[in-house]
A = this chain, B = another copy of it.
Amino acid sequence: MTAPHPLVLFMPSGKRGRFPVGTPVLEAARQLGVYVESVCGGRATCGRCQVSVQEGQFAKHGITSSNAHLSPVGPKEERYERVRGLPEGRRLSCSALIMGDLVVDVPQDAVINAQVVRKEADARIIERDPAVHMCYVEVEEPDMERPLGDLDRLKAALAKDWRYGDLEVDFHLIPKVQAILRKGEWKVTAAVHRDHDEDRPRLIALYPGLKNEAYGIACDIGSTTIAMHLSSLLSGRVVASTGASNPQIRFGEDLMSRVSYVMMNPDGREAMTSAVRGALSDLIDRVCEQGDVRREDILDTVFVGNPIMHHLFLGIDPTELGGAPFALAVSGAVSVKSSEIGLSLNEGTRTYVLPCIAGHVGADAAAATLSEGPHRQDEMMLLVDIGTNAEIVLGNAGRVVAASSPTGPAFEGAEISAGQRAASGAIERVRIDPVTLEPRFRVIGIEPWSDEPGFAEAAAETGVTGICGSGIIEVIAEMYLAGIISEDGVVDGALAARSSRILATGRTFAYLLHDGEPRITVTQNDVRAIQLAKAALYAGVKLLMDKQGIDHVDRIGLAGAFGTFIDPKYAMVLGLIPDCDLENVKSVGNAAGTGARMCLLNRGYRREIEETVRKIEKIETALEPKFQEHFVHAMALPNKVDAYPHLARVVTLPERKTLAEGAEAGGRRRRRGRE
Chain A positions near chain B (C-beta within 8 angstroms): 142-152, 155, 166, 168, 171-172, 174-175, 177-179, 198-200, 314-317, 320, 324-332, 334-337, 340-341, 356-359, 618, 620, 622-623
Contact = CB atoms under 8 A, between A and B. Distances in A.
A618 B329 contact: no
Given A144-B622, A146-B618, A325-B142, A337 B171 contact: yes
Contacts of A150: 320, 327-330
Contacts of A329: 149-151, 174-175, 177-178
A334 B174 CA distance: 9
Contacts of A198: 166, 200
Contacts of A172: 340
A450 to B, nearest CB: 47
A315 B175 contact: yes
Given A151-B329, A330-B151, A145 B175 contact: no
A332 B152 CA distance: 7
A328 B175 CA distance: 11
A142 B327 contact: yes
Given A330-B152, A331-B152, A314 B174 contact: yes
A199 B108 CA distance: 35
B144 A324 contact: yes
A178 B314 CA distance: 14
A313 to B, nearest CB: 11
10 smallest beta-carbon distances between A and B, as pairs: A149-B331, A142-B327, A147-B358, A149-B328, A151-B330, A149-B330, A144-B620, A171-B336, A144-B325, A142-B325
Given A142-B325, A147-B358, A171-B334, 9 more contacts: A142-B320, A147-B325, A147-B331, A148-B331, A149-B332, A150-B329, A171-B341, A178-B329, A199-B200
Contacts of A622: 144
A503 to B, nearest CB: 45
A435 B194 CA distance: 76
A356 B337 CA distance: 28
B341 A145 contact: no
Contacts of A168: 335
Given A150-B327, A331-B152, A618-B147, A317 B175 contact: yes
Which of A320, A326, A623 is packed against the most chain B CB atoms within 10 Å?
Answer: A320
A659 to B, nearest CB: 39
A200 B168 CA distance: 13
19 contacts: A144-B324, A144-B325, A147-B325, A147-B326, A147-B327, A147-B357, A147-B359, A149-B331, A150-B328, A150-B329, A152-B328, A152-B331, A152-B332, A166-B198, A171-B336, A171-B341, A172-B340, A174-B315, A175-B329
A179 to B, nearest CB: 8
Contact of A171 (B324, B326, B340): B340
A172 to B, nearest CB: 7
B144 A317 contact: no
A151 B328 CA distance: 8
A315 B317 CA distance: 35
A297 B316 CA distance: 24
A325 B145 CA distance: 9
A632 B325 CA distance: 83
A607 to B, nearest CB: 13
A168 B178 CA distance: 31
A331 B332 CA distance: 37
A341 B177 CA distance: 16
Contacts of A314: 174-175
Which of A155, A315, A329, A623 is packed against the most chain B CB atoms within 10 Å?
Answer: A329
A146 to B, nearest CB: 7
Nearest to A360: B147
A73 B620 CA distance: 47
Contact of A145 (B155, B337, B620): B620
Contact of A316 (B152, B166, B174): B174
Contacts of A315: 174-175
B324 A174 contact: no
Contacts of A148: 328, 331
Contacts of A623: 144-145
A326 B178 CA distance: 12
A178 to B, nearest CB: 5
Nearest to A142: B327
Contacts of A358: 147
B149 A356 contact: yes
A663 to B, nearest CB: 37
A199 B199 CA distance: 8
A151 B329 CA distance: 6
A178 B317 contact: yes
A144 B320 contact: no
